[in-house]
Amino acid sequence: MIENHSDNIDSKENDNSNQDSVPEDISSTQNLTTENKELSSQKTEEINTEELKNTISNNDARLEQLEKEHETLKNQYVRISADFDNFRKRQSRDQDDLKIQLVSKTLTAILPIVDNFERARQQLKPESEEAQVLHRSYQGLYKQLVEVLKQQGVSPMRVVGQQFDPNLHEAVLREPSEEVEEDFIIEELQRGYHLEGKVLRHALVKVSMGPGKQNSQEEVEKDKVEGDIDSEVNTSEDE
Protein backbone atom coordinates (compact mmCIF):
# COMPACT_ATOMS: atom_id res chain seq x y z
CA MET A 1 0.00 0.00 0.00
CA ILE A 2 2.77 2.35 0.83
CA GLU A 3 4.46 1.59 -2.48
CA ASN A 4 1.26 2.22 -4.35
CA HIS A 5 0.85 5.47 -2.60
CA SER A 6 4.37 6.39 -3.48
CA ASP A 7 3.79 5.53 -7.07
CA ASN A 8 0.71 7.68 -7.13
CA ILE A 9 2.62 10.57 -5.75
CA ASP A 10 5.35 10.19 -8.38
CA SER A 11 2.72 9.96 -11.04
CA LYS A 12 1.11 13.14 -9.83
CA GLU A 13 4.45 14.91 -9.78
CA ASN A 14 5.16 13.79 -13.32
CA ASP A 15 1.77 15.02 -14.38
CA ASN A 16 2.38 18.30 -12.69
CA SER A 17 5.76 18.67 -14.36
CA ASN A 18 4.24 17.83 -17.70
CA GLN A 19 1.52 20.37 -17.10
CA ASP A 20 4.13 22.98 -16.22
CA SER A 21 6.15 22.31 -19.40
CA VAL A 22 3.17 22.43 -21.79
CA PRO A 23 2.51 26.17 -21.49
CA GLU A 24 6.15 26.91 -22.12
CA ASP A 25 6.08 24.94 -25.36
CA ILE A 26 2.88 26.63 -26.48
CA SER A 27 4.31 30.05 -25.70
CA SER A 28 7.45 29.26 -27.63
CA THR A 29 5.44 28.08 -30.57
CA GLN A 30 3.31 31.17 -30.49
CA ASN A 31 6.41 33.36 -30.38
CA LEU A 32 7.87 31.55 -33.33
CA THR A 33 4.62 31.92 -35.21
CA THR A 34 4.50 35.62 -34.44
CA GLU A 35 8.10 36.07 -35.52
CA ASN A 36 7.42 34.17 -38.73
CA LYS A 37 4.40 36.31 -39.41
CA GLU A 38 6.40 39.46 -38.77
CA LEU A 39 9.21 38.23 -41.01
CA SER A 40 6.70 37.26 -43.67
CA SER A 41 4.96 40.60 -43.38
CA GLN A 42 8.28 42.43 -43.56
CA LYS A 43 9.32 40.47 -46.63
CA THR A 44 5.93 41.13 -48.20
CA GLU A 45 6.31 44.83 -47.53
CA GLU A 46 9.83 44.79 -48.99
CA ILE A 47 8.55 42.98 -52.07
CA ASN A 48 5.65 45.40 -52.43
CA THR A 49 7.99 48.36 -52.02
CA GLU A 50 10.36 46.97 -54.63
CA GLU A 51 7.50 46.33 -57.04
CA LEU A 52 6.19 49.83 -56.44
CA LYS A 53 9.63 51.29 -57.13
CA ASN A 54 9.87 49.24 -60.34
CA THR A 55 6.39 50.35 -61.35
CA ILE A 56 7.22 54.01 -60.72
CA SER A 57 10.50 53.66 -62.61
CA ASN A 58 8.73 52.02 -65.55
CA ASN A 59 6.05 54.70 -65.53
CA ASP A 60 8.69 57.44 -65.50
CA ALA A 61 10.48 55.81 -68.43
CA ARG A 62 7.20 55.41 -70.30
CA LEU A 63 6.27 59.03 -69.58
CA GLU A 64 9.63 60.22 -70.85
CA GLN A 65 9.19 58.17 -74.00
CA LEU A 66 5.69 59.54 -74.55
CA GLU A 67 6.95 63.09 -74.07
CA LYS A 68 9.64 62.51 -76.70
CA GLU A 69 7.07 61.05 -79.09
CA HIS A 70 4.78 63.99 -78.41
CA GLU A 71 7.59 66.46 -79.13
CA THR A 72 8.46 64.62 -82.34
CA LEU A 73 4.84 64.62 -83.51
CA LYS A 74 4.50 68.28 -82.57
CA ASN A 75 7.57 69.20 -84.64
CA GLN A 76 6.25 67.18 -87.57
CA TYR A 77 2.90 68.94 -87.30
CA VAL A 78 4.59 72.36 -87.24
CA ARG A 79 6.67 71.49 -90.31
CA ILE A 80 3.69 70.10 -92.20
CA SER A 81 1.59 73.12 -91.27
CA ALA A 82 4.36 75.49 -92.43
CA ASP A 83 4.84 73.54 -95.68
CA PHE A 84 1.10 73.59 -96.36
CA ASP A 85 0.91 77.33 -95.65
CA ASN A 86 3.83 77.96 -98.02
CA PHE A 87 2.20 75.73 -100.63
CA ARG A 88 -1.10 77.60 -100.27
CA LYS A 89 0.63 80.98 -100.62
CA ARG A 90 2.66 79.75 -103.60
CA GLN A 91 -0.48 78.43 -105.29
CA SER A 92 -2.29 81.71 -104.68
CA ARG A 93 0.68 83.67 -106.03
CA ASP A 94 0.96 81.43 -109.08
CA GLN A 95 -2.75 81.80 -109.77
CA ASP A 96 -2.49 85.58 -109.49
CA ASP A 97 0.52 85.59 -111.82
CA LEU A 98 -1.29 83.38 -114.32
CA LYS A 99 -4.34 85.61 -114.17
CA ILE A 100 -2.21 88.71 -114.76
CA GLN A 101 -0.44 86.99 -117.68
CA LEU A 102 -3.73 86.06 -119.32
CA VAL A 103 -5.20 89.52 -118.79
CA SER A 104 -1.97 91.13 -120.02
CA LYS A 105 -1.97 89.02 -123.15
CA THR A 106 -5.57 89.93 -123.91
CA LEU A 107 -5.15 93.63 -123.18
CA THR A 108 -1.92 93.82 -125.15
CA ALA A 109 -3.83 92.55 -128.17
CA ILE A 110 -6.42 95.31 -127.66
CA LEU A 111 -3.93 98.18 -127.32
CA PRO A 112 -3.22 98.51 -131.09
CA ILE A 113 -6.94 99.15 -131.57
CA VAL A 114 -6.72 101.96 -129.04
CA ASP A 115 -3.70 103.32 -130.92
CA ASN A 116 -5.69 103.34 -134.14
CA PHE A 117 -8.55 105.19 -132.45
CA GLU A 118 -6.13 107.84 -131.18
CA ARG A 119 -4.48 108.28 -134.57
CA ALA A 120 -7.84 108.60 -136.24
CA ARG A 121 -8.91 111.19 -133.67
CA GLN A 122 -5.81 113.25 -134.38
CA GLN A 123 -6.17 113.04 -138.16
CA LEU A 124 -9.91 113.41 -138.57
CA LYS A 125 -11.21 116.97 -138.76
CA PRO A 126 -14.94 116.75 -139.34
CA GLU A 127 -16.39 119.75 -141.13
CA SER A 128 -19.85 118.75 -142.24
CA GLU A 129 -22.65 117.96 -139.83
CA GLU A 130 -22.71 114.36 -140.99
CA ALA A 131 -18.98 114.04 -140.35
CA GLN A 132 -19.39 115.55 -136.91
CA VAL A 133 -22.14 113.07 -136.04
CA LEU A 134 -19.88 110.25 -137.16
CA HIS A 135 -17.01 111.74 -135.19
CA ARG A 136 -19.11 111.94 -132.02
CA SER A 137 -20.16 108.34 -132.48
CA TYR A 138 -16.55 107.35 -132.92
CA GLN A 139 -15.57 109.31 -129.79
CA GLY A 140 -18.28 107.47 -127.82
CA LEU A 141 -16.85 104.10 -128.84
CA TYR A 142 -13.35 105.25 -127.95
CA LYS A 143 -14.46 106.40 -124.50
CA GLN A 144 -16.18 103.07 -123.86
CA LEU A 145 -13.03 101.21 -124.82
CA VAL A 146 -10.88 103.41 -122.54
CA GLU A 147 -13.36 102.91 -119.68
CA VAL A 148 -13.17 99.12 -120.06
CA LEU A 149 -9.38 99.32 -119.90
CA LYS A 150 -9.57 101.43 -116.75
CA GLN A 151 -11.87 98.89 -115.13
CA GLN A 152 -9.26 96.22 -115.83
CA GLY A 153 -6.60 98.29 -114.08
CA VAL A 154 -4.94 99.71 -117.20
CA SER A 155 -3.57 103.25 -117.02
CA PRO A 156 -1.58 105.21 -119.65
CA MET A 157 1.94 106.48 -119.04
CA ARG A 158 2.77 110.18 -119.10
CA VAL A 159 6.26 110.33 -120.54
CA VAL A 160 6.91 113.66 -122.27
CA GLY A 161 9.34 115.71 -120.19
CA GLN A 162 10.24 112.71 -118.03
CA GLN A 163 13.76 111.31 -117.73
CA PHE A 164 14.36 108.25 -119.86
CA ASP A 165 13.94 104.99 -117.93
CA PRO A 166 14.69 101.74 -119.79
CA ASN A 167 12.33 99.92 -117.43
CA LEU A 168 9.44 102.02 -118.73
CA HIS A 169 10.50 103.41 -122.06
CA GLU A 170 12.00 102.24 -125.33
CA ALA A 171 14.10 104.83 -127.12
CA VAL A 172 13.40 104.73 -130.85
CA LEU A 173 15.10 108.04 -131.78
CA ARG A 174 17.67 110.33 -130.20
CA GLU A 175 18.21 113.86 -131.40
CA PRO A 176 19.94 117.03 -130.18
CA SER A 177 17.86 119.64 -128.41
CA GLU A 178 18.66 123.11 -127.15
CA GLU A 179 15.56 123.16 -124.96
CA VAL A 180 15.50 119.68 -123.40
CA GLU A 181 18.29 118.24 -121.28
CA GLU A 182 20.09 115.07 -122.23
CA ASP A 183 18.26 111.76 -121.57
CA PHE A 184 14.90 113.48 -121.23
CA ILE A 185 11.98 112.50 -123.44
CA ILE A 186 11.08 114.94 -126.20
CA GLU A 187 8.18 113.14 -127.85
CA GLU A 188 5.94 110.12 -127.32
CA LEU A 189 5.78 107.98 -130.47
CA GLN A 190 3.60 105.24 -129.04
CA ARG A 191 1.84 105.38 -125.70
CA GLY A 192 2.89 103.00 -122.95
CA TYR A 193 0.56 101.46 -120.38
CA HIS A 194 0.63 100.15 -116.83
CA LEU A 195 -1.42 97.25 -115.51
CA GLU A 196 -1.91 97.49 -111.74
CA GLY A 197 1.48 99.11 -111.30
CA LYS A 198 3.32 96.79 -113.70
CA VAL A 199 4.42 97.63 -117.22
CA LEU A 200 1.90 96.34 -119.71
CA ARG A 201 3.60 97.94 -122.72
CA HIS A 202 6.72 100.10 -122.92
CA ALA A 203 6.35 103.56 -124.36
CA LEU A 204 8.15 104.26 -127.63
CA VAL A 205 9.83 107.63 -127.26
CA LYS A 206 12.22 110.16 -128.77
CA VAL A 207 15.02 111.13 -126.37
CA SER A 208 17.05 114.32 -126.24
CA MET A 209 20.81 114.19 -126.74
CA GLY A 210 21.16 117.59 -125.08
CA PRO A 211 22.54 120.83 -126.50
CA GLY A 212 25.81 120.88 -128.46
CA LYS A 213 25.58 117.35 -129.70
CA GLN A 214 24.67 118.46 -133.20
CA ASN A 215 27.62 120.87 -133.39
CA SER A 216 29.92 118.19 -132.09
CA GLN A 217 28.71 115.80 -134.75
CA GLU A 218 29.20 118.44 -137.46
CA GLU A 219 32.72 119.14 -136.21
CA VAL A 220 33.52 115.42 -136.33
CA GLU A 221 32.25 115.19 -139.89
CA LYS A 222 34.14 118.41 -140.82
CA ASP A 223 37.37 117.05 -139.35
CA LYS A 224 36.87 113.85 -141.30
CA VAL A 225 36.34 115.74 -144.56
CA GLU A 226 39.39 117.93 -143.96
CA GLY A 227 41.43 114.83 -143.17
CA ASP A 228 40.38 113.25 -146.45
CA ILE A 229 41.32 116.44 -148.34
CA ASP A 230 44.75 116.60 -146.68
CA SER A 231 45.28 112.97 -147.53
CA GLU A 232 44.48 113.57 -151.18
CA VAL A 233 46.79 116.62 -151.33
CA ASN A 234 49.68 114.66 -149.83
CA THR A 235 49.11 111.86 -152.28
CA SER A 236 49.19 114.24 -155.27
CA GLU A 237 52.38 115.89 -154.01
CA ASP A 238 54.09 112.54 -153.70
CA GLU A 239 53.26 111.80 -157.27
Q: How many domains is the chain built from?
A: 2
pLDDT at site 184 = 93
d(CA 161, CA 166): 15
Q: Report if residue 139 sits inside a domain.
A: yes
Choose the final residue of a domain: 106, 135, 152: 152
Q: Indicate if 162 and 217 belong to the same structural domain.
A: yes
What does the pLDDT average to over 99-104?
Answer: 84
- Across the beta sheet with 193-195, what order do the strands follow? 154-156, 193-195, 198-201
pLDDT at site 223 = 52
Pairing, β 198-201 against β 193-195: antiparallel
Whether the pLDDT of residue 21 is over 50: the answer is: no
Q: Report if residue 190 sits inside a domain.
A: yes
Whether the pLDDT of residue 174 is over 70: the answer is: yes
d(CA 135, CA 125): 9
In sequence order, what DSSP letters do the residues of 28-56 get, joined into one string? HHHHHHHHHHHHHHHHHHHHHHHHHHHHH
pLDDT at site 100 = 81
Q: Residue 146 belongs to what domain range?
A: 90-152
pTM for the complete prediction? 0.53
What does the pLDDT average to over 165-194?
Answer: 91
Whether the pLDDT of residue 128 is over 90: the answer is: no
Give the lowest-confidence range in 12-16, 114-118, 161-165, 206-210: 12-16
Q: Indicate if 144 and 159 belong to the same structural domain.
A: no
pLDDT at site 168 = 92
